[in-house]
Amino acid sequence: MSLTITKRVSNAKLAKMLPRSLAEFAASLHLPEPTTLVVFDDEVVSSGSTRKALRKLSAESGGSALFAARDFTIEARQLIESHGIQIMSQTNFGWSDERYEMIRRSR
């Protein structure tokens, strides 16, 4: 798991902080400021990676948070949403953690 956490991001600077594949969608977001931005480098982010990121954010308070990645598993999306965090992804294939792990192992 590789991720970058950037604290105190304004809506005006959000597009510059996101991967190119997601930057164009930043203009449609209007998150409470300041935003803590968490960008994952993984192709698909599992619930395990999401839990690790959430532990790193546990000391954060105020503002909002945005998790961004190419895709998230179903369980990761549920976990993120249960913490009131916004999700931005390039795709939504609907992988479960188990199914994605099976596919990843078969490569």
Alpha helices, DSSP H only, in 1-107? 11-17, 20-23, 47-57, 74-82, 97-105
Residue-level pLDDT at 76: 98
The whole model's pTM is what? 0.91
Question: Cβ of 32: how many Cβ atoms within 10 Å?
Answer: 10
Task: Report phi then psi at 76, rounded to 5.
Answer: -65, -45
Which residues pair with residue 72 across a beta bridge?
45
Q: Rounded to whole angstroms, how far apart are CA atoms 29 and 27? A: 6
Q: pLDDT tens, 20-61?
A: 989 988 888 889 889 999 999 989 999 999 999 999 887 655
Label residue 107 by pLDDT band (50, 70, 90): confident
Amino acid present at 61: S
Residue-level pLDDT at 57: 86
pLDDT at 104 > cutoff 90: no
